[in-house]
Structure 1
Amino acid sequence: MSELHPKVAQVQAALHAAGIDVTVRQIDEATPTAAAAAEYLGCEVGAIANSLIFMADGEPILVLTSGAHRVDTTLLAGRIGATAITRAKPDDVKAATGQVIGGVAPVGHPAPVRTYLDVTLGAYDEVWAAAGIAASLFPITYADLLRATGATEVEVD
């Protein structure tokens, strides 16, 4: 593919602006789930960094979690001081990130989103995340993901 989708280009620009020297890959098939991305890449599902939007007391938060985990919203609420955390609706995801479910990236959003990073991802030398559309991926280290997102490290399950 010669030209990057505008959403993918935004993610690439955000990564470079954060000093992260990685190249996003726009691929020929959608990988909207951690399992699909892991199968495509031939890696463990745990090495996929899911970018999930939740609503914490009515405000969007981004939780970057290992594809091998499910976020325990009650536990997470207690850890971040929220009264309640619920899964965001598709319109809330799009409003917060400018991206759609299945392709949400950890960066490249129209405005900063409070972000939490699953510490379990630190067990991998390299993790993979979506880059703005479902047919995109990029590799990144845990340390670079933490730095690029300004996330707060947390256990999510």
Structure 2
Amino acid sequence: MAIDRVKEYFRKYGMEERIQEFEVSSATVALAAQALGCEPARIAKTLSFMVDGQAILVVAAGDVKIDNGKYKKQFGTKAKMLSPDEVVELVGHAVGGVCPFAVKPGVKVYLDESLKRFETVFPACGSSNSAIELTMPEMEKYAGEEGWVDVCKLAEG
């Protein structure tokens, strides 16, 4: 299971005990916020795209969506999300538990500027009922292999 790979990943840093597992689903931003008792914006959602034949991940705040113009400027192509089957095959995690940790080799991970508003955020940990609370320096260390991008905008409503 993907959560076991994520636990192993964090075990190398002595942090596996910080992973939280819930009795309820945390597969969406709303469900994760409810499970954690935090505002939805602090859920660090991981979005999966295809760029030049390679899977990439963009980790963004829970209250934003991709800005197609910014995305195209950053990556030189239109935003094309992976299908659920492609996510499992290319990234190594199933939709609902996609995270930037313990992904398959070659998957590039980017952190969106929308996360910087918060002292800590909660990304998933490879399952649809898990999360870990990380500071921005920790996000950079454990997830942000490629660095920061600005490809999102606040969702309407």
TM surpasses 0.5: yes
Alignment partner, residue 96 of structure 2: 102
* Aligned residue among 72, 83, 90 for 1:89: 83
* Aligned residue among 112, 119, 127 for 2:121: 127
Q: How does 1:24-35 map to 2 (within 5 A)?
A: 24-35=19-30
Deviations 1:71-106 (A, max 9, x none): 1233212123x2222111112111122111011111
* Aligned residue among 58, 61, 69 for 1:63: 58
Alignment partner, residue 155 of structure 2: none
Alignment partner, residue 47 of structure 1: 42
Q: 1:147: Cα distance to partner?
A: 1.3
CA contact (8 A) 2:55 2:91 kept: no
Q: Could you say if the C-alpha distance between residues 57 and 73 of structure 1 is closer, same or farther in structure 2, counting changes exceeding 3 Å?
A: farther
CA contact (8 A) 1:64 1:106 kept: yes
Alignment partner, residue 3 of structure 1: none
What stretches of structure 2 of length at least 5 have no aligned partner? 153-157
Instruction: Give me the TM-score of the superposition, normalised by structure 1.
Output: 0.87
CA contact (8 A) 2:43 2:122 kept: yes
For the residues of structure 1 that align with 2:14 and 2:66, how far apart are their CA atoms? 27
- 3-state SS of the aligned residue for 1:146? helix
What stretches of structure 1 of length at least 5 have no aligned partner? 1-5
For the residues of structure 1 that align with 2:38 and 2:69, how far apart are their CA atoms? 30
Query: RMSD of the TM alignment (CA)?
Result: 1.7
CA contact (8 A) 2:54 2:106 kept: no
- 3-state SS of the aligned residue for 1:86? coil
Deviates more, 1:6-15 or 1:65-74: 6-15
Give % identity: 28
Q: 1:37: Cα distance to partner?
A: 0.7
- The alignment covers a number of residue pairs equal to 150
Alignment partner, residue 142 of structure 1: 136
- 3-state SS of the aligned residue for 1:70? strand
For the residues of structure 1 that align with 2:37 and 2:90, how far apart are their CA atoms? 31
Q: Could you say if the C-alpha distance between residues 51 and 20 of structure 1 is closer, same or farther in structure 2, counting changes exceeding 3 Å?
A: farther
Instruction: Give me the TM-score of the superposition, normalised by structure 2.
Output: 0.87
CA contact (8 A) 2:22 2:35 kept: no
Letter in 2 for 1:61: I
CA contact (8 A) 1:56 1:77 kept: no
Alignment partner, residue 2 of structure 2: 7
Q: 1:21: Cα distance to partner?
A: 2.9
